[in-house]
Structure 1
Amino acid sequence: METDFSPSGVLVVDKEPNMTSHDLVAITRRQLKFKKIGHCGTLDPMATGVLMLVIGKATKLQDRLMCEDKVYEGSLKFGETTNSQDREGEIEETKEVPAFSDEEVEAAFNHFVGDFEQIPPMVSAIKKDGVPLYKLARKGKVVERKPRAVKVSDYSISRIELPEVDFTVHCSKGFYVRTYAHDIGQYLGCGAHLTALRRTRSGHFDLSRAIKASDLMKATREEIMEKLIGLEEIAEILSK
């Protein structure tokens, strides 16, 4: 039962592995004893990092908040492609990884800067005739997906130890980092898949104000309310 005093604001959660975005919404609803809660931008179960929950009147800002750029830290592995484009999928093809120079790896990343198109993976929440693609993928079905316009504003590479590469990418909404890893592997001719992913920023919100998912599970209503970013502050942030 919802209390008379309804919370409103944004709660930034540091999502942990092996839980879904919906899991965090359910946990927060339980802890706050309040139902009007949504999330801004799904994170795959293996991914960690910034997940914004919109609570109460802040749900009206959901679309606005989801439109903003994101920053991710990721790792990829050359030489193996998977059906999900990440380490959680089944390996579809294995190839030998040439002794790429750092410059060759950099050139591949450089190819995917600015505006370009991505074909969304089959294992995604995008719907085809009202059915999420991941449900079709579970049945072994592959359907045509329309390319989507995306943008990479910036990237950096922090480690190259073949067949692994660690990177950071600053990208637009609707961007699939696992497709990014897959496409870089295709560009180099040896294939690749995403092995780790952490969202460090979503729009103006980063991990500095986040509550860990494990702490959220045992937090009191009062403790969660203290972590809420209020509507006035959100309006001020969005006006910048």
Structure 2
Amino acid sequence: MNGLLIIDKPGGMTSHDVVNRVRRIAGEQSVGHLGTLDPMATGVLPLLLGRFTRLAQFFSTADKTYTGHIRFGFATDTYDAEGQPQGIAVTPSLTLDQLRVAAAPFHGEIEQMPPAFSAKKIGGKPAYKLAREGKPVELKPKTIQIHEFEITGLDDDTASFRIQVSAGGYIRSVAHELGQALGCGAHLNSLRRTQAGAFTIAQAHTLDAVASSNAEQFLIHPRKLLPEMPSVCGDAIAVGKLRNGAQANLPEYSDAEQIKVFDGQRDLVAIARRIAGTLFQPTVVLG
């Protein structure tokens, strides 16, 4: 089975757990996710199946949008509700206006320190394994873009929020650092990814729904993938060349440097790069 499937990930499962479940449901061993969600988190988890796993490189820079809750009063070692409390718990007295003022600096290009309990590699070993072993975790800050961070409400010690970040951003770190800025400690209490790149929660399906029917019917139409690239239908000669990794002449529908080449309406043959004029070279061949 070849395609892209969007799962509404349930809480309590790792992203790899979801991948394994879809492998069994679809009868397809080649399955990969496009951006890890922590076990606690729910929401949009796009999966590539079969030959479409070759397209993963084109999704690596997609922005992500989340909603969730931050609890104030104490931090945790994992920066979320599944970790161990750190320091002395306090009863914060915060207003919505105070929170919004404190959240304002978390916007635009910032340097963010990943959590010690993360999948970042240190000497080839995931940081979370070192942290669990009580070993020092020396991570470097990463430059990310926060396009939007809005505190949408406050109920006692817990604030609701919406955030849009670039690839690689940790919402747990935002919650932790916001608690530091306010001097009361904080951690991420819940998280739901509502959008990943062009894909939204409205397009997502539960694992139970996919398991109870023909999984293929839930795949995103191939022409909706990578919307920044124009779709071109090749003739039999061009398609044959591209399938064999050779250059081919294609109708010049736009000035785009990369295009999606189809044989008919649904059969995505290749991603091709313009060499000159209407001459294209396949960079990824899908068969």
TM-score with structure 2 setting the length: 0.77
Q: Does 1:106 align with 2:100?
A: yes
CA contact (8 A) 1:8 1:231 kept: no
Q: Does 1:161 align with 2:149?
A: no
- For 1:179 and 1:163, the matched residues in 2 are separated by 18
Q: Could you say which residue in structure 1 is the equivalent of 2:179?
A: 185
Q: Which residue of 2 aligns with 1:231?
A: 222
The CA distance in 1 between the partners of 2:221 and 2:95, in whole Å, is 49
Identity of aligned residues (%): 39
- Residue 16 of structure 1 pairs with residue 7 of structure 2: no
Q: CA deviation at 1:58?
A: 1.8
Judge conservation of contact 1:209–1:227 (CA < 8 Å) in 2: no
Alpha-carbon displacement from aligned partner over 1:71-117 (angstroms, at most 9, x marks no partner): 00010111111000000000011343442232211011111000001
| Root mean square deviation, CA, Å | 1.4
Using the alignment, how far apart are the partners of 2:51 and 2:228 within structure 1? 15
Counterparts of 1:138 and 1:215, CA distance in 2: 36
Q: Give 1:84's aligned amino acid.
A: T
What does residue 43 of structure 2 align with? 49
Partner amino acid, structure 2, of 1:94? I
Runs (5+) with no aligned partner, structure 1:
1-6
Indicate conservation of the 8 Å contact 2:99/2:151, yes or no. no
C-alpha distance in 2, partners of 1:149/1:64? 20
Structure 1 residues 162 and 63: alpha-carbon distance in aligned structure 2, compared to 1, 3 A threshold: farther
Q: Which amino acid aligns with 2:228?
A: L
Amino acid of the structure 2 residue aligned with 1:195: N
Query: CA 1:72 to 1:146, structure 2 compared with 1: closer, same or farther past 3 Å?
Result: same
SS in 2 for 1:30: helix
Partner residue in 2 for 1:63: 57
Deviates more, 1:38-47 or 1:101-110: 101-110
Could you tell me which amino acid in structure 1 is paired with residue 225 of structure 2? I
8 Å CA contact retained: 2:35, 2:45: yes
Letter in 2 for 1:12: I
Give the TM-score normalised by the residue count of structure 1: 0.91
Q: For 2:229, give the aligned amino acid.
A: S
Larger helix share, 1 or 2 = 1
Q: Distance between the aligned counterparts of 1:231 and 1:197, measured in 2?
A: 29
1:59-98 alignment runs, 5 A limit:
59-98=53-92
- Higher normalized contact order (CA 8 Å, seq sep 6+, divided by chain length): 1
Check the 8 A contact 2:72/2:92 in 1, yes or no: no
Contact 1:87 1:193 in 2 (8 A): yes
User: SS at 1:57's partner residue?
Assistant: helix
Contact 1:78 1:162 in 2 (8 A): no
Kindly provide the CA deviation profile for residues 43-86 of structure 1, in whole angstroms up to 9, marking residues without a partner as x: 11110000000112221221221311000001011111100000
Structure 2 runs not aligned, ≥5 long: 231-287
In structure 2, the partner of 1:174 is 168
Give the whole-Å Cα distance in 1 for the aligned partners of 2:176 and 2:136: 17
SS in 1 for 2:189: strand
Partner of 2:109: 115
Per the TM alignment, residue 230 of structure 1 is displaced from its structure 2 partner at its CA by 3.5
Q: Determine which structure has more spread, i.e. the larger CA radius of gyration.
A: 2
Residues 130-149 of structure 1: pairs in structure 2 closer than 5 A: 130-149=124-143
Instruction: Measure the CA separation in 2 of the matches of 1:171 and 1:51.
Output: 16
